Amino acid sequence: MGEVVVLGGSNGEHLAIELSRLSGFELGEIEIKKFPDDETYIRVLSDVSGKDVVYINSLQRDPNESIIETIYTLDTLSDLGAKRIIAIIPYMSYARQDSRFKPGEAISIQTLGKLFRSVKVDYIITVDMHLHRIQDPSIVFGAKFYNITGVRELAKYVKRNHIINYEKTVVIGPDEEAEQWAKIMANELGGLEYGVLEKKRLTAEEVVIEAKGVNVNERDIIIVDDIISTGGTIIEAVKALRSLGAKDIIVTTVHPLLVGNAYAKLLKLNLKDLAGTNTILSPISKVSITPAILEELVKIL
């Protein structure tokens, strides 16, 4: 393995520092600031010529600004002679805008992919990115693409911090889309039962939520989802599970966006625990995604 430099953007510096400590890779430095007219200034302060460069930045907390910063930095690294460029984008914004649902809409993730293709990037690593209608992200982004999961790190956190009664604990995805993450969590926790919540319409006005494939009555619950944004889906799920007789509830998520007053609303649910990874820094970012990132990096490097 040749020389490797790790650099962190505005939303990735915490992960760059962790990765450098775990791996022993050199921690580089970038100067990022604003000109008086609000234009972005970027300067790579470390020598990257002839070296493998790992650049980390999540595209959140003002995603448009984060995208500009990321594209400018990646292009600069290429200009400065980096040998290979590995872009780690723990949270990929616009991933759900992957189709034209109404006439005239921008397919935003396709446009974002064109921006990444316009610069030299050899590898892209993301974490639990929405890929439902993207068959081959390598074609969209123009680089070898790896979409890893943060759910295994969440499962390790649950194991470390909670005593699990394997006869009375169930893993639940709050909707059918989340079944993939519920399955991973259940397997990582030793083969727990898992299921998802689904809405059933009784009449035009009446809808009930049921647990599909599993009994939750008098059982402890571990909810897992990829993103908590406004908190609405989780709040609805917790209320439904309690109405079905569930006992203690732990909520876990990979990407804790926590938009607006979502955190306060979740605190009012009186959960046993509420935890997310640090793909995005938030009050519930208790779980480091860095070990999962390093595991994938070792395969590449």
Catalytic residues: 199
- Alpha-carbon span 73 to 104, nearest angstrom: 31
Residue located via tokens 């990874």: 277
Whether the CB-CB separation of 268 and 246 falls below 8 Å is answered with no
Are 284 and 275 a contacting pair, CB within 8 Å?
yes
Amino acid at 171: V
Q: Give the end-to-end CA distance of the chain in Å, rounded to a whole number.
A: 6
Structural tokens at position 243: 């109405």
Name the one residue in this structure whose structure tokens are 């780690």: 88
3-state secondary structure at position 229: coil
Rg over alpha carbons for the chain, rounded to the nearest Å, is: 21
Dihedral in degrees, nearest 10, Cα atoms 151, 156, 158, 159: 140
Backbone φ and ψ of 224, nearest 5°: -135, 135
Q: What angle do CA 299, 28, 113 make, to 5 degrees?
A: 60
Whole-number Cα distances in Å, 55 to 34, 108, 141, 233, 293: 20, 23, 16, 33, 12
